[in-house]
Amino acid sequence: MKKKVLILTYYWPPDNSSGVQRWAYFAHFLHQMGNDITVVTVNPKDASYKNTDDSFMELVSKINVVQTSTLEPLKAYSLLTTGSTNNGIPRGGVNSSKSIFKKLASMIKENLFVPDARVGWNRFAKEAAQDIIQREMPDVVITTGPPQSTHLVGVALKKQFPKLKWLADFRDPWIELFSIDQASKSAWAQNRNTKLELSVLNTADSILTIGPSMQRLLQQKMPPAQQVKVRYIYNGFDDVKMDNAPILPSDTFTITFVGLMADEYPYAGFVSALKKLGDSASKIKLILAGNIARKFISEVNEIANLEVDVKGFVSHEQSLSLMKSASMLFTILPSLPNDEIIISGKMMEYIAARKPILCIGNQKGDAAALIQESNSGKTFDAQDSEEMLAFIQKCMQEEVVLNSDNQSIAPYSRKATAVKLDQLLDELLKK
In Å, what is the CA distance from 93 to each residue of 89, 178, 219? 11, 6, 25
209 and 285 belong to one structural domain: no
Per-residue pLDDT tens, the chain, 431 aa: give them: 899 999 999 999 999 887 899 999 999 999 999 999 999 999 999 888 877 888 899 999 999 999 999 987 655 554 444 545 455 455 444 344 445 445 545 555 565 677 888 899 999 999 999 999 999 999 999 999 999 999 999 999 999 999 999 999 999 999 887 554 455 568 888 889 999 999 999 999 999 999 999 999 999 999 999 999 999 999 999 999 999 999 998 889 999 999 999 888 999 999 999 999 999 999 999 999 999 999 999 999 999 999 999 999 899 999 999 999 999 999 999 888 888 998 988 999 999 999 999 999 999 999 999 999 888 999 999 999 999 999 999 999 976 656 555 667 888 999 999 999 999 999 999 98
Q: Are residues 77 and 175 in the same domain?
A: yes
Reported pTM:
0.88
Indicate if 72 and 164 belong to the same structural domain.
yes
Q: Give the strands of the sheet with 284-292, arranged side by side.
A: 307-312, 284-292, 253-261, 328-332, 357-360, 377-380
Q: What CATH number corresponds to the domain at position 39? A: 3.40.50.2000
Give the structural domain span for 176.
Answer: 4-236+413-430
- DSSP SS3 for 68: strand
Q: Are residues 148 and 297 in the same domain?
A: no
Residue 372 to residue 379: CA distance in whole angstroms:
8
379 and 281: one domain? yes
Distance CA 135, CA 146 (A): 28
**Which of 132, 94, 128, 126 lies closest to 110 in space, CA to CA?**
94
Residues 27 and 147 in one domain: yes
Clarify whether residues 231 and 346 are in a common domain.
no
Number of domains comprising the chain = 2
Residues 109 and 201 placed together within one structural domain of the fold? yes
- Are residues 230 and 95 part of one domain? yes
Q: Are residues 216 and 277 in the same domain?
A: no
Could you tell me which residues are beta bridge partners of residue 41?
Answer: 67
260 and 175 within one domain: no
Regarding whether 296 and 362 lie in a shared domain, the answer is yes
